[in-house]
Structure 1
Amino acid sequence: MAYRNLLRNQKWFEFADKVKQRDGFVCSNCGKGGNGITLQVHHDSYVIGRMPWEYPVSACHTLCSGCHAREHGIIQPDSGWTLIEINDTGGLNSHCERQGCRQEIRYEHVAYHPAWGYMVAGSECINHLTIEDKMLCEDSLRIYKQAASFVDNHPLNRSQTKKGQSYLKCTYKHHVIRVYSESGNFAVQVAVKREGVKFYDYSDVKQVKVDNAEQAQELGYIWMRGMLSNDKKETEILRKMWVSLRKT
Structure 2
Amino acid sequence: MISLRTLLALGALLLSLPLGAQNPFLRPSLELGMSSANLRMTQSGSSGPLGGIQGLRAGAGLELSLGPLTYISAGLYYQQLGANNELSRRGSRPLELGAQGLTGTEQLRLQYLSIPVAVGMRLAVPFVGAGVSGELGLSYNSALGGSYSYRAASHSERSATADYDPYRLPEEQRPSLSLKERDLALHLAAKLELGSFFLRLGIEQGLTNIWQDAPRRSSLRTTTSWLSLGYTLF
Range of TM-score over shorter length: under 0.3
More helix as a share of residues: 1
Task: Indicate the structure (1 or 2) with the bigger Cα radius of gyration.
Answer: 1
Q: Which has the higher contact order (CA 8 A, sep 6+)?
A: 2
- The alignment's TM-score, normalised by the length of structure 1, stands at 0.20
- The alignment's TM-score, normalised by the length of structure 2, stands at 0.21
